[in-house]
Amino acid sequence: MVRIAGVQFVGNADKETNIRTAIRMVREAADRGARIICLPELFSTMYFCVETRREYFDWAEPIPGPTIDRLRDVARETGTVLIAPIFERAPDGRYFNSATVIGPDGHLIGKYRKSSIPLMDTAQSAEPRGNEKFYFTPGDLGFPTFATPFARIGLLICYDRHFPEAARVLGLGGAEIVFVPTATTGMTRYLWDLELRAHAVANVYYICGVNKVGVDVGGSKRNHRGLREDLAARRDPRGGLGHEGRHHRGRRGPLGPPEAPRALGLLPRPPARDVRPGGRPARRRRPPGRGARARAHPRRRLGARRISLAR
């Protein structure tokens, strides 16, 4: 069994402030027993993609580089696996939205680059949207899984979570836990919970979403709303909440103060993938509209209930 944590905090235009906050919270999560700790998307900077400014390219770093080297020291100090998403500058001059997996001995286990780079239509929302295509090249490393001393893990940075193919590749690659570092806003709340539940159930693994929090200091007015539980979600292979996802009479409880690591409970190994979650063998279900039971139940008849997909 393993305890994991997702760390969320308010971004800042000052890069050093973000790095120090992350290091402090990683140590706190490790003190609470976390063995794998994930930081949010672009953790060392604010979410700068709302604007298209050339000077923001100066925030990009190589991997390994100054920020990752500091986190390697922290991983070695705490004996934890760290997932550190940053703005990467590759040796060939390309730029990526990347995440590095650091082992408990400080070595680099591997790297993943976000594949799906969005250009958000600002006319579709009153919230500030991001033009990530201005900054990032689509990832070229596929969807790898990483063997750590505690579990085999996979990563989906933000927009990559929308595509079931990516989540499926991680499952086929043997992922036991998938981390989803993001910088999303409240307008995607309905998709956030739906998609993470679906990925966990369909692929029989645990999934942990880690979002940025609130409004960046010194940045745009974009609100990441990470205080809400559904934007700091963790799902088990049955689609349920993790150990500390509390339900009170159908209402989800708060997660805590604005800046606190979301330490999770112990996660048992997921069930084998050749059976349904919970160890039950898969059963064929009667198609709708066939059989005496369907005829006796008007709502089960095909076409008896209309669902509109147009919005």
Among all residues, which ones are annotated catalytic? Answer: 41, 114, 158
Cβ neighbours of residue 124 closer than 8 Å, sequence gap 6 or more = none
Helix axes 164-172, 189-203, angle to 10 degrees: 30
Nearest to 159 by CA among 264, 6, 23, 47: 47
- As given in the structure block, the two tokens for residue 130 are 């991001």
- As given in the structure block, the two tokens for residue 162 are 């929308």
CB atoms within 10 A of CB 128: 18
What is the Cβ-side half-sphere exposure of residue 277, based on CA atoms within 13 angstroms?
A: 18
* Gyration radius from the chain CA atoms: 20
Strand order in the sheet with 177-182: 145-147, 152-155, 177-182, 206-211, 234-235
Please, what is the end-to-end C-alpha distance for the chain in angstroms? 43
DSSP SS3 for 14: coil
**CA distances (Å), origin 81, targets 63, 73, 162:** 16, 11, 26
Nearest to 158 by CA among 180, 176, 142: 180
How far does Cα 44 stand from its chain's mean position? 16
DSSP SS3 for 83: strand
